[in-house]
Amino acid sequence: MTGGRLSRRSALGLIGAAGAVGVTGGFAAGAARDDDAEPQESVVPFHGKHQSGITTRVQQHLYFASFDMTSTATREDLKSLLADWTDAAARLTQGREVTTEGATGGGPYKPPDDTGEALGLEPNALTITFGFGPTLFAADRFGLEKKRPKELVELPSFAFELLEDRFSGGDLCIQACADDPQVAVHAIRNLSRIAFGRAQVRWTQLGYGRTSTTSKSQSTPRNLFGFKDGTANVFSNDDSDLATWVWADGSDQPWLAGGSFLVARKIQMLIESWDRVRLEEQEAIVGRDKGRGAPLSGGSEFTEPDFDVVSTAARGPAIPMDSHVRLAHPTQNGGARMLRRGYNYVEGNNDLGQLNAGLFFLAFVRSPEQFVGVQRSLAKDSLNEYIRHIGSAIFAVPGGIRAGESIGSGLF
Ligand SMILES: C=CC1=C(C)c2cc3[nH]c(cc4nc(cc5[nH]c(cc1n2)c(C)c5CCC(=O)O)C(CCC(=O)O)=C4C)c(C)c3C=C
Ligand SMILES: [Fe+2]
């Protein structure tokens, strides 16, 4: 990361961007077949038709922040904050410091503009994705009532959830993903500083390991229950699926065209209970084989599950009626799919020595109904004995940003 200009290796990444990548949030550097082998200096274009960080190859780390506007903030404050965030995010994602003066160029007599912990680090495929929560559009706040997408309302209650305010809601969100956690943390830290006096952090979430993939050329990672997660995702190369299930068309609110809705759920996983479950039962709960990730109806990882196959050993359906994969599958949910982009988290231990750990579930959907329908189906999921939803938020994610524009400029 540099003050005014890119390092040599980063610049090479950008040349790759111009030559090999369009404007839809692809990766700039190299043409590696296995996305996991992408070089760390890769730069993801910030400007484009869609915001980056959605179909972008899923980076290894996440730092997510939800913000509330301060009680005294005005419409002008919101507008200027979004403009300042846009400028800063455009710089940070390209491997630059947050301003030209940066961490050391502003002289000895004022605090540095940039906090400095990413100095010397490559861009690490940093993406910064912005979203707006329902409360931002409330009457008597910023005059945005008429700009609220009809579907941007708080999520309904679901069976078994034990939501806590301290992990839920927010006027605004920023998702920072990168292949180095320090780069993602640096981005959120500096964007939070810029917000001072206008918005404050409500809650944050650090995710240390991806639990999804947006392309089959990227290996499928594992969640903390040890299962491959992200096998049946909406993939970045399927424009038809993306148009149907991820991108908003702007017919409701033009500023949302090319955007999406982001559902965030903090899901605690009861690791110690799960670890005492027999392998056969773990697989029956998920509906897939633990080693290869293949559906219990047979085949390999990417074979479509066949819910009609009967198992003599199980004396019933090979993929049990209350298994996670059966209940989450599009055939059980009016065809609904979602682009999942979640991360594992581990936050120490509780008083009993049990892990505070789980899945920070993130899904991008064209309509929140896609998530709501699937989550309602999951009321019968046998996985519920081993998980608890403890945080929840929904955000409208505006479409991509053109050079010279600010995020959410269509709101004003
Ligand atoms: C409401 C949406 C979902 C929540 C919440 C959710 C939580 C959750 N999931 C796992 C583990 C796995 N999920 C898998 C597949 C899968 N999950 C959802 C949705 C939610 N999961 C969908 C739509 C799918 C795909 C279904 C399909 O089309 O086949 C899998 C299998 C591998 C895969 O396809 O990704 C696993 C494993 C956990 C542990 C969890 C909560 C902590
Ligand atoms: Fe799932």
- Structural contact between residues 51 and 129, judged by C-beta atoms closer than 8 angstroms: yes
pLDDT single digits (tens) 365-393: 999 999 999 999 999 999 999 999 999 99
pLDDT for residue 147 is more than 70:
yes
**Dist. CA 328 → ligand 2 center (Å):** 7
Closest of 67, 193, 72, 76 to residue 131, by C-alpha: 67
Choose the residue to mutate in 241, 326, 355, 361 for probing ligand 1, maximizing ligand atoms within 8 Å of C-beta: 361
Global pTM reads 0.93
Cβ-Cβ contacts under 8 Å for 276 (sequence gap 6 or more): none
Tell me the pLDDT band of 34, cut-offs 50, 70 and 90.
very low
Which pLDDT value is given to residue 31? Answer: 34
**Dist. CA 382 → ligand 2 center (Å):** 12
Closest of 378, 389, 386, 265 to residue 323, by C-alpha: 378
Q: How many CB atoms lie within 10 A of CB 178?
A: 30
Tell me the pLDDT band of 1, cut-offs 50, 70 and 90.
low
User: Which ligand is closest to the CA of 359, given by its number?
Assistant: 1
Report the nearest-CA residue for atom 10 of ligand 1.
Answer: 229
DSSP conformation class of 306: -
pLDDT for residue 231 is more than 50:
yes
**Dist. CA 405 → ligand 2 center (Å):** 36
Ligand 1 atom nearest the C-alpha of 269 is 42
- Structural contact between residues 277 and 283, judged by C-beta atoms closer than 8 angstroms: no
CA-based R_g, the chain, Å: 21
DSSP conformation class of 265: E
Amino acid letter, 67: F
- Structural contact between residues 40 and 180, judged by C-beta atoms closer than 8 angstroms: yes
Q: How many CB atoms lie within 10 A of CB 314?
A: 13
pLDDT single digits (tens) 334-364: 999 999 999 999 999 999 999 999 999 999 9
Q: Chain-centre distance of CA 33, in angstroms?
A: 23
User: Which ligand is closest to the CA of 159, given by its number?
Assistant: 1
pLDDT for residue 22 is more than 90:
no
Which pLDDT value is given to residue 180? Answer: 97
Which pLDDT value is given to residue 35? Answer: 52
pLDDT single digits (tens) 80-121: 999 999 999 999 999 999 999 999 999 999 999 999 999 999
Closest of 122, 131, 243 to residue 183, by C-alpha: 122
Q: Which residues line ligand 1 (CB under 6 A)?
A: 223, 225, 227-232, 265, 267, 269, 286, 288, 324-325, 328-330, 338, 359, 361, 371, 374-375, 378, 387
Q: Chain-wide mean pLDDT for the chain?
A: 92
pLDDT for residue 183 is more than 60:
yes
**Dist. CA 218 → ligand 2 center (Å):** 18
Which pLDDT value is given to residue 11? Answer: 37
Backbone angles phi, psi at 165, to 5 degrees: -55, -35
Closest of 244, 264, 311, 249 to residue 283, by C-alpha: 311
pLDDT for residue 12 is more than 70:
no
pLDDT for residue 10 is more than 80:
no
Please report how the helices 75-93 and 181-194 are oriented relative to each other, as an axis angle in degrees rounded to 10: 150
- Work out the average pLDDT over 241-251: 97
Report the nearest-CA residue for atom 27 of ligand 1.
Answer: 329
**Dist. CA 351 → ligand 2 center (Å):** 28
Q: How far apart are CA 28 and CA 19, in angstroms?
A: 8
Assess: ipTM above 0.90: yes
Which pLDDT value is given to residue 217? Answer: 87
Q: How far apart are CA 126 and CA 56, in angstroms?
A: 10
Across-strand partners of 395? Answer: 262
